[in-house]
A and B are shown apart, each in its own frame.
Chain A
Amino acid sequence: MLRVIVRRLLQLAVTLIALSALIFVWLRNLPGGPVEALLGERATPERRALLIKALGYDQPILVQYAKFMQRVVTGDFGNSIRTGDPVSEVIGRAFPATIELAVVAMIIAIGLGVPLGYLAARHHGRLLDNLSIAGTLLGISIPIFFLGYLLKDVFTQNIHWFPPSGRISTGLDNTNVTGFFVLDGLLTREFDATADALWHLILPAFTLATIPLAVIVRITRASVLDVLNEDYVRTAEAKGLRHRVIRGRHILRNALLPVVTTIGLQTGALLSGAVLTEKVYNWGGLGTLITDSISGGRDYPVLQALILLAALVFVVVNLLVDLSYAFIDPRVRVR
């Protein structure tokens, strides 16, 4: 087991280093070069020369790459072109918003997806099954930003159930501890803030959950269908085991492995979807940051940090998923 972990960690490191090298090359080959990108219209020969020296672009490329890597490892990505603040600070402010949104979306997707997929498989070929298939197909075919606008229109304009945008009501005096508003409310016992933050979360989280939900339902359904026909399930039934035991120990536990893999892969869909969802609901997280960093004159220092961060999150989550196999499937532990 330990050897597997070490090998996977090494692989992960290689992937990330390669990605950082690509990003380095990308930044070096920006249209007009990184210096132009930084200076913009204020470029004069003197300024350019000064900046080239200040940024170390007069040094050999390998030295530059080493310096770049050194800064990446220490989390120093320079300053945002747009605001002038350090990139780590800019990202640190937006990070909790996206994580909060993604976690709630994932809870919705798993919490609804696994039972729905299981039920669909149990009712194979009947109305519930067909409805769930139709639903999942629609879920993966709808542009989620459009779904976001649709939900927003129905639930905030026509019937005022939810707030249209933002993470918390303006004027609510909530104490900021961790940046996770739901958690902050619990920590400081400002339960009204928690309730308000959750209330703001529902629509965006459902929007973001659409695609993972659809995929999880499909995979769970297919996986449970496979397991249902296994001999050991029939044996368990023949032994007269209670249905609850068969369901839990024999069916779900065996059917869960592909589902867990899918959940890991859906992190990618969540990160992608967050960019779209956050724009719809004006969420102010990493997705909003990406959109702003591109549309308001390209803010390359922020962008490169965001790209590396997204890759890091995605790769680490998938590593954790792979490792979790050991807990679900004893066969993996032996190998």
Chain B
Amino acid sequence: MSDPMTRPGVTSPRDGSGLPASDLSAGDRPGVEEKPEGVTRDLGRLGDRKKARLDELARATADKGGVSLVRDAFRRLRRNPVAIVGASIVGIFILVAIFAPLLAPHDPAQRFDELTKNLTVDNIPGASSEFPLGSDPLGRDFLSRLIYGSRQTLFVGVVATLIGLGLGVLIGALAGAFGGWVDNILMRFTDVMLALPALLLAISLVAMASRSSQWTVIFAVAVVNVPIFARLLRGSMLAQRESDHVLAARALGVKGRSIVLRHMLPNAMTAVIVQATLTLSTAILEAASLSFLGLGDPDINRAEWGLMLGVDGQRYFEVRPELAYYPAIAIIVVALGFTLLGEAMREALDPKNRR
């Protein structure tokens, strides 16, 4: 993975990057484009030539400050319809989670008499004016539970991703910073984790605990993603060890720790952040799968989409398939949102697309 930020080359056609019409830049910044002529004109006068080169270098770096890769990527992201759709879905999801108490018509944990009295083994009350999506298997308002479910779903997804990200970044940064035998040992460790298919690893981890709870699910989903983050970060850190800007920092006498934390890590994080966005989607899906296998959160009061789909949706599919449909649609849409956003980010941050 070569990152253009790590290579402040003068000759690379950085000018005009991100501008809609790159041929305009020749007129805007004549100095950079006129390099060949400038060189030939100053031939023979070494001092001037050097100065010209330095000026050019300064201009090029100043230019880079103007449109950094991240800012440039963000600008392209804003124009990409895929990114807009993804970001809108994610935005709505987060807003619903925040304002759940205002949006939900009822208390999600309350069992209503008018619902429970019609509740039998093969009948779960459907929609009525008071309960727009009907009842859940325990006589609670399904719509309210669905709205409140966004909170727990967001919580499970975000916390699992953050834990996985944290541990993965720690391992990857250590491996990438030290290289050598540290790298070797840590990577063999991730190999072992990668030797097990994701869901099976999660299942084994949940089976380790004596009782499953929300935290065992979060932990299991998080650990599954640790080797992926670790490998990703290690790869781009190792690539940077040889790069010019790290060499420059070392030549300036910057301390090793500072090089790793300030020079290498920030440059290596973009790929990891993209992966984290994509992981948010898989984390929600994996948590739902664990619930489906009966390894989820046993708390019956907890409203979480994966749990609603995996437990009630499965059990009462024949009686009232809506119990599965609504949480499933919610999960699909949100997973799609994170995936679209992540893919668009990856595309925008890909140096190859920087034209």
Residues of A within 8 A of B (CB): 11, 14-16, 18-19, 22, 26, 30-32, 137-138, 140-143, 145-146, 149, 153, 267-269, 271-273, 275-276, 279, 290-291, 294-295, 298, 303, 307, 310-311, 314-315
Contacts and interface: CB of A to CB of B under 8 A. Distances in A.
Contacts of A268: 197-198
B335 interface: yes
11 contacts: A19-B192, A31-B210, A137-B336, A140-B335, A141-B336, A142-B328, A143-B285, A146-B328, A269-B197, A272-B198, A276-B293
Given A146-B309, A272-B197, 15 more contacts: A15-B191, A18-B191, A30-B208, A31-B208, A137-B339, A143-B292, A143-B331, A145-B314, A149-B313, A149-B314, A271-B200, A273-B199, A275-B199, A294-B206, A295-B293
Nearest to B195: A311
Given A31-B210, A149-B314, A307-B200, A143 B328 contact: yes
B289 interface: yes
B132 interface: no
Nearest to B196: A311
Nearest to A268: B197
Query: Which 9 residue pairs are nearest across A and B when measured between Cβ atoms?
Result: A31-B210, A272-B199, A268-B197, A141-B335, A271-B197, A311-B195, A141-B336, A272-B197, A146-B328
Contacts of B199: 271-273, 275-276
B207 interface: yes
Residue from A272, A279, A291 with most neighbouring chain B CB atoms (10 Å): A272
| Residue of A143, A269, A273 with most partner-chain B CB within 10 A | A143
A314 B328 CA distance: 29
Interface in B311-337: 313-314, 317, 321, 324, 328, 331-332, 335-336
Contacts of B310: 145
Contacts of A311: 195-196
Nearest to A267: B197
A307 B294 CA distance: 18
Contacts of B196: 19, 307, 310-311, 314
Nearest to B317: A149
A267 to B, nearest CB: 8
Interface residues of B, number: 40
B292 A145 contact: yes
Contact of A279 (B207, B293, B336): B293
Interface in B193-214: 195-200, 203-204, 206-210
Contacts, number: 111
Nearest to B294: A295
Contacts of A303: 204, 207
A290 B203 CA distance: 9
B307 to A, nearest CB: 12
* Of A14, A30, A32, A137, most B-chain CB atoms within 10 Å: A137
Contacts of B209: 31
Contacts of B204: 26, 303, 307
A15 B195 contact: yes
A275 B195 contact: no
Contact of B195 (A146, A272, A290, A315): A315
Nearest to A270: B197
Contacts of A272: 197-200
A11 B295 CA distance: 33
B154 interface: no
B340 interface: yes
Contact of B197 (A32, A138, A279, A314): A314
A213 to B, nearest CB: 16
B188 interface: yes
B309 A153 contact: no
B288 interface: yes
Nearest to B336: A141
B281 interface: yes
Nearest to A145: B292
Q: By CB atoms of chain B within 10 A, which of A11, A142, A273, A298 has the most?
A: A142
A14 B294 contact: no
A32 B210 contact: yes
Contacts of A32: 210
Interface string B206-233: 1111100000000000000000000000
A140 B198 CA distance: 14
